[in-house]
């Protein structure tokens, strides 16, 4: 199935596909730090797709466009899920996409992760990236048990009934007095401005 999807997307089914999805937050993004190592890693001959956050700086995106080739491209899709299903390896930082990718039980490399370091290889220096890529591709099952442990902590249900549980919970809350007891969320004007900018595009 994964191979068929790769072919449909114009990818080479004989090559490993690396998905790079950094967060946009200036404090936590890996995009600037890892650029040189990602550029150097092109010698490994793997395919790369890069999915930037919608709020990523244009300057960063344009810098990565200089790497465009038959084996490296930036995807413009709003939805990353399809690309996750065909990727053999995810590289990210503190982005929550790492936790979604865990469901596929495939290798994850994080750069200076802020929590749950055991979900994959966490590197703290850019020069460790190529070694981490090679290790992940050679032994994709190395962190399988750790990935399962993290998943069971953050989402213990895998029975396909989570949506039904959510609907039931929302229904129960709406029928009770819970909403009236909630504290108002603090205002975040910067975030609102960023969201309005996206919506107006």
Per-residue pLDDT reduced to its tens digit, 103-141:
999 999 999 998 887 899 999 999 999 999 999 999 999
Sign of CA dihedral 142, 40, 30, 114: positive
Mean pLDDT, the chain, rounded, equals 90
Q: Which tops the pLDDT comparison, 160 or 90?
A: 90
* pLDDT number for residue 199: 56
Element (H, E) at 110: strand 108-111
In angstroms, the CA 134 to CA 140 distance is 10
Domain ranges within the chain, ordered by starting residue: 2-154, 170-199
Band of pLDDT at residue 70, cut at 50, 70 and 90: very high
Quick count: other Cβ atoms within 10 Å of Cβ 190?
8
* pLDDT number for residue 154: 83
Question: Structure pTM?
Answer: 0.80
**Lowest mean pLDDT across 64-68, 102-106, 130-134, 191-195:** 191-195
2-154: CATH superfamily:
CDP-glycerol glycerophosphotransferase, C-terminal domain (3.40.50.12580)
Give me the residue label for tokens 């495939």: 106
Phi, psi of 126 (to 5 degrees): -55, -35
* pLDDT number for residue 200: 56
56-61 average pLDDT score: 95
Question: What's the angle, vertex CA 153, arms to CA 147 and CA 158, rounded to 5?
Answer: 80
């Amino acid at each position: 199935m994964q191979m068929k999807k790769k072919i449909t997307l114009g990818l080479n089914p004989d090559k490993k596909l690396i998905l790079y999805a950094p967060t946009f937050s200036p404090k936590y993004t890996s995009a600037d730090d890892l650029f040189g190592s990602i550029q150097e890693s092109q010698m490994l001959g793997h395919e790369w797709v890069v999915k930037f956050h919608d709020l990523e700086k244009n300057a960063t995106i344009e810098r990565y466009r200089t790497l465009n080739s038959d084996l490296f491209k930036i995807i413009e899709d709003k939805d990353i899920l399809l690309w996750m299903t065909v990727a053999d390896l995810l590289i990210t930082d503190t982005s929550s996409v790492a936790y979604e990718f865990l469901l596929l039980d495939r290798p994850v490399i994080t750069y200076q992760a802020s929590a749950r370091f055991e979900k994959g290889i966490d590197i703290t220096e850019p020069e460790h990236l190529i070694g981490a890529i090679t290790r992940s591709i050679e032994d994709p099952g190395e962190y399988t048990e750790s990935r399962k442990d993290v998943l069971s902590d953050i989402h213990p249900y895998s029975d396909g009934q989570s949506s039904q549980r959510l609907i039931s919970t929302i229904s129960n809350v709406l029928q009770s007095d819970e909403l009236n007891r909630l504290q108002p969320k603090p205002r975040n004007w910067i975030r609102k401005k960023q969201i309005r900018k996206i919506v107006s595009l």
